[in-house]
Chain A
Amino acid sequence: MVDIARGPTDLVPPAEVEDAELYHPKSWITKYVFSQDAKVIAIQYSLTAMAIGLVALVLSWLMRLQLGFPGYFSFISPESYYQFITMHGMIMVIYLLTALFLGGFGNYLIPLMIGARDMVFPYVNMLSYWVYLLAVLVLVASFFAPGGPTGAGWTLYPPQAILSGTPGSGWGIVLMLSSLILFIIGFTMGGLNYVVTVLQGRTRGMTLMRMPLTIWGIFTATVMALLAFPALFVGAVMLLFDRLLGTSFFMPAIVEMGQFLERDGGSPILFQHLFWFFGHPEVYIVALPAFGIVSDLISTHARRNIFGYRMMVWAIVAIGALSFIVWAHHMYVSGMNPYFGFFFATTTLIIAVPTAIKVYNWILTLWRGDIHLTVPMLFALGFVVTFVNGGLTGLFLGNAVVDVPLSDTMFVVAHFHMVMGVAPILVILGAIYHWYPKITGRMLNDALGKFHFWVTFLGAYAIFFPMHYLGLMGVPRRYFELGETISLQESHSLNAFITVVALLVGFAQMVFLFNLGWSLFRGREAGSNPWRATTLEWQTPDTPPRHGNWGKELPVVYRWAYDYSVPGAEQDFLPQNQPSPVRSG
């Protein structure tokens, strides 16, 4: 039986990994640029992801300007509009969210939270970042290529993606596919590292069922990504061949603008299956780290053990497994065999059960807690609201027949932004407020943080909640302008409102970036454990932790990660490496 609370652990001799076994940097370049320290790599990943994320933010402003005030901005053409939405979507999903959660938080937190000195393959870890950076640069290059970036929509559906009616079908799509291929190569190097480190690198006493849920979330998401990304890899390579070599993997016989193309026998639907075999797990690749992190934020700041830890772990694993057999719920009206709908609607709605359990347990952790409304906690609470909202609208779209009128409307856009845009980003922001003191040694400014939270949370809700109703009206997604259609005329006022709020929320992110820079020098000194948290990363001898993390001896773990407010204990938290034998009360 697993010990979920304080089981007896024999004292073991600590630390057999010698500090000297790590490759220590000898120059500024190997310390900060070609670094093999997971913490430096984490910061490199995070800064790169945030920089390219800023590009995606600006693109979202441009597309919102067009949607809110069609006709006012002569520099936005249909072609450029489709390029904006395509690049916004791809950057946010792959190059920001995936990279930041796994490359950023994964690298920083895995070794520290499991009590390791570093990742097990530091050199491969370094390569992973540099290949990722190359992928980002290739992606950025497409903005400057002849014809601009691809405007095929982030789903890149052929035949349209590689035919001349779509902007960027020359250079743009080639650079996009090349960049994705590079990203997957880079991710695979990092991902294998995270999985092996969690399985092999845990310190004495850190059993799997004592790991913080953050690590469970990142670990499961990484396993999923290693299994899901190959489908995208295959799809990208075959589409690249169709584009460059004239093959017909996805191309049937086609008459394009009166011209016969020399293609035959391919299947456009095959690409959709490959894309969504990756694409649906991808939703959970982003969501599971967020689930894990938010569990730890809520537990720490409510001073209460996470409620139902074992159920939480099994829910993460169950969601990860189920998410591989639901992909075709993105394809109910794609023209695939309609009888698939019965199977995929059923599996999709079953996922709601483990997901709901997670939500209940977050709230039951608040119940009878001692809730400190710190900035990380505010973001965690904001996450629960937006995630519940976005998760529930998934029950509309997952139910095949309800999806028929709603698919490809703004309802879908509102749903996935709420559930895999706003919700995970609120967790990322909360996590940055939470761990910034460990990374830099200083606290982020509280007043700016609260301003940032309120504008972001309320603004994002005001953007995406009403947007569902546009979809219900029948407003299509991916429309440059709605034209004269009578039934859609009432949407204009709401679209203008959404645009104004979107610009405000974007502005609040600038305040956040200012806070990140300003607090680096002027922030209050944090000390080693400002939140009085139990997990190992707060128990390092130095803050910020040095290369090797633990000084001479590795920590030994005696308890699970959630010993908050233990009856009879002197403090309201017991760090995982504290051996004091407390009688259970």
Chain B
Amino acid sequence: MYIALILVLIAAGSVLFHFLSPWWWTPIASNWRYIDDTIVVTFWITGIVFTAVVLFMAYCIFRYRHRPGRQAVYEPESKRLEWWLTIVTAVGVVAMLAPGLVVWNQFVTVPDDAAEFEVVGQQWQWTFRLPGEDGRLGASDIRNVTFENPLGLNPDDPNGRDDIVVIADDLHLPVGRPVKVLLRSVDVLHDFYVPEFRAKMDMIPGTVTYFWFTPTRTGRFEILCFELCGSGHPYMRGGVVVEPESDFQAWLGQQRTFAELSLPNDGEIVGAAD
């Protein structure tokens, strides 16, 4: 008997928790508002289904609880009812899947004007590379990795000489410009994720993976590794600073290129990035 009442309380409590609790996503800082919208649509559809199912269950338990003399109705099946429920369910599924696939198509289609930059993961730190004045990233190969060349850039590739390499420091990005993130790893799986950007992708040794987004809000955001990468996984953090174009260009001017970093007997210690 109590269970009917408690089921009503569970349905009501879950809805109240959803609307009143302080635990909700962080304010978005990228173009992926569509992802948030799809989540909200999904919450509405699934929330209505959940509440309706639990409340109807509670009604049945209360209305048809055992009392002396009650007999259940013998009715093996009802084709009409079952078909109706199947069709209604299919419509609800399509209502969630269709916008989902449309947005997924945007997610996998990188705009032509997206600027490329590279993120490289290794246990347990982030390194970044941006193209230099030529606007192109030079070739890289893991076999070139040395203490002075942690990204394994090809020293003979002229495109790579002017690449900006950022070690053990925040990445900077200009606000409002689409970027394609190229992801590499030199050891195990990692995953580049900034919760405010809503988009992530695994990094796989031996492969270059990618995704794209447009930063829409300035500020400093934290990068978290989102694929278990060993015992240092929770400490693999980094930062992204999103700033106006002029600030970004000023920052870029202060960074050192691959050619500068690989000069022998350079005063700075390049590899001490731990």
Contact = CB atoms under 8 A, between A and B. Distances in A.
A254 B196 contact: no
B65 A352 contact: no
Contacts of B142: 253-255
Contact of B89 (A334, A352, A482): A352
A253 B206 contact: yes
A370 B76 contact: no
30 contacts: A4-B77, A78-B231, A165-B188, A165-B229, A256-B123, A266-B206, A303-B66, A303-B71, A304-B72, A304-B74, A341-B104, A357-B86, A360-B85, A363-B60, A368-B75, A370-B72, A381-B57, A385-B57, A396-B42, A402-B42, A404-B198, A408-B226, A465-B14, A466-B21, A473-B25, A474-B195, A480-B233, A480-B234, A483-B234, A564-B74
In the complex, which range does the number of interface residues on chain B fall in? 35 or more
Nearest to A400: B104
A399 to B, nearest CB: 4
Shortest beta-carbon contacts, A-B, top 5: A252-B206, A165-B230, A474-B195, A335-B209, A304-B72
Given A153-B228, A257-B123, A478-B233, A565 B72 contact: yes
Nearest to B100: A399
B163 interface: no
A401 B38 contact: yes
Contacts of B166: none
B206 A305 contact: no
Contacts of B60: 363, 366-367, 369, 371
Interface string B15-28: 00100011111100
Interface string B58-74: 00110011100011111
B2 to A, nearest CB: 9
Contact of A152 (B82, B104, B228): B228
In the complex, which range does the number of interface residues on chain A fall in? 35 or more
Interface in A380-433: 381, 384-385, 388-389, 392-393, 395-396, 399-402, 404-409
Contacts of A153: 228
Given A165-B124, A357-B82, A408-B193, 19 more contacts: A157-B189, A160-B189, A253-B205, A255-B122, A255-B145, A305-B74, A307-B77, A335-B202, A342-B104, A371-B64, A371-B66, A381-B61, A399-B42, A400-B107, A405-B200, A466-B23, A473-B23, A478-B228, A567-B74
A363 B58 CA distance: 10
B231 A345 contact: no
Interface string B217-257: 00000101011111111110100000000000000000000
Contacts of A506: none
B14 A311 contact: no
A472 B1 contact: no
Interface string A519-561: 0000000000000000000000000000000000000000000
Q: Chain B: interface secondary structure?
A: mixed
Contacts of A255: 122, 142, 145, 152, 186-187
A151 B231 contact: yes
A494 interface: yes
B202 A333 contact: yes
B103 interface: yes
A401 B90 CA distance: 20
A216 interface: no
B191 interface: yes
A326 to B, nearest CB: 13
A453 to B, nearest CB: 9
A58 interface: no
Interface stretch (A40-48, A117-125, A485-493): A485-493
B25 A408 contact: no
Contacts of B115: none
B89 A160 contact: no
Nearest to B59: A367
Nearest to A159: B188
B102 to A, nearest CB: 9
Given A381-B57, A389-B50, A368 B73 contact: yes
B127 to A, nearest CB: 12
B167 interface: no
A346 B123 contact: no
B100 to A, nearest CB: 4
Nearest to B190: A160
Interface string A241-259: 0000000000011111110
A309 interface: yes
B64 A369 contact: yes
B108 interface: yes
A231 B46 CA distance: 33
A372 interface: yes
B269 interface: no
A78 B56 CA distance: 46
Contacts of B72: 302-304, 368-370, 564-565, 572
A407 B195 CA distance: 11
Contact of A363 (B21, B57, B65, B195): B57
Contact of B23 (A305, A333, A356, A472): A472
Interface in A224-279: 252-258, 260, 266-269
